[in-house]
């Protein structure tokens, strides 16, 4: 993860968990001493958007770009002009949480001007326990659709194998084996995998040859509480 700087666009299939990954990745990099900015570009899904975690992110000193306050709850395709301005500025790390599949990825094509002459690390989040990404062929098809819609090439893979609260250690290991095979077939590097914070103590990290991003879930149903990020003094 240390090599991921500049503009990092997090994309994936519907339900892949890309927003949760984007949030936790931004927090991890901030804790590593990197100045981080993050933008909510999910114009597709009205639920579980990054904006739900804007308070904890801002408290950690992460610059958050969202739609205008009066439109935060609107189910409308609104892209803040501040996003284009943010992309034109120099920064150590800018994270873009992009909407699901090819439909959501179209927003990147609309940002062609501010992205001109900039290298974008576009990372495909894969959860092999979700429909359409449970086979290597399915993942490659999703990748191709996203690349065509965004007009940007995917540069790496993120393994996010989980069944939410039902996730077991074996699920994590099986998911890792899957994305390793996908990495080999696609010739795309496996940038990191995710592991829920509650599973981390029992994980055998020696089984992985890539970094682990610890996930503290922020986007939860109303009857649950998110795992709050602790500020470091």
Q: What is the mean pLDDT of residues 6-15?
A: 94
Contacts of 187 by beta carbon, 8 Å cutoff, 6+ apart: none
Domains annotated for the chain, with CATH where assigned, are 6-215 (3.40.50.300)
Residue 48 has pLDDT above 50, yes or no: no
Predicted confidence (pLDDT) per residue in 122-154, tens digit: 999 999 999 999 999 999 999 999 999 999 999
Tell me which of 100 and 50 has the higher pLDDT: 100
Contact 209, 12 (CB under 8 A): no
H/E run at residue 97:
strand 93-98
Residue 217: the pLDDT is: 86
* Strand-strand pairing, 190-196 and 154-159: parallel
Q: What is the pLDDT of residue 214?
A: 97
Higher pLDDT, residue 228 or 198: 198
Strand 63-65: give its sheet, edge to edge.
Answer: 63-65, 36-41, 93-98, 6-12, 120-126, 154-159, 190-196, 212-215
> How does pLDDT run across 67-117, given as a tens digit for each residue?
665 555 555 455 667 788 888 887 889 999 998 899 889 989 989 999 999
**Closest among 204, 232, 200 to 216, alpha carbons compared:** 200
Q: Which of 12, 3, 11, 25 has its CA nearest to residue 193?
A: 25
* Local confidence band at 167 (pLDDT 50, 70, 90 cut-offs): very high
Query: pLDDT confidence of 9, banded at 50, 70, 90?
Result: very high
pLDDT tens figures, 174-216: 999 999 999 999 999 999 999 999 999 999 999 999 999 999 9
pLDDT of residue 15: 87
Report the SS3 class of residue 114.
helix
pTM reported for the whole predicted model:
0.89
């Amino acid at each position: 993860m240390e090599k991921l700087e500049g503009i990092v666009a997090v994309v994936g299939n519907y339900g892949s968990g890309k927003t949760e990954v984007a949030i936790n990745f931004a927090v991890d990099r901030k804790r590593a001493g990197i100045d981080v900015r993050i933008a909510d570009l999910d114009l597709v899904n009205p639920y579980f958007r990054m904006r739900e975690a804007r308070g904890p992110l801002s408290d950690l000193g992460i610059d958050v770009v969202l739609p205008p306050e009066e439109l935060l709850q609107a189910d409308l395709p609104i892209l803040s002009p501040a996003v284009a301005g943010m992309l034109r500025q120099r920064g150590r790390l800018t994270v873009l949480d992009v909407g699901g599949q090819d439909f959501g990825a179209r927003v990147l094509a609309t940002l062609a001007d501010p992205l001109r002459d900039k290298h974008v690390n576009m990372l495909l989040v894969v959860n092999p326990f979700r429909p359409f990404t449970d086979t290597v062929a399915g993942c490659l098809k999703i990748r191709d659709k996203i690349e065509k819609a965004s007009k940007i090439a995917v540069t790496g893979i993120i393994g996010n194998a989980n069944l939410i609260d039902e996730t077991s250690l074996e699920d994590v290991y099986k998911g890792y084996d899957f994305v390793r095979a996908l990495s080999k077939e696609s010739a795309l590097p496996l940038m990191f995998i995710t592991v829920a914070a509650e599973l981390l103590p029992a994980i055998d990290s020696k089984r992985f040859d890539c970094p682990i991003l610890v996930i503290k879930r922020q986007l939860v149903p109303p009857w649950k509480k998110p795992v709050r990020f602790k500020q470091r003094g």
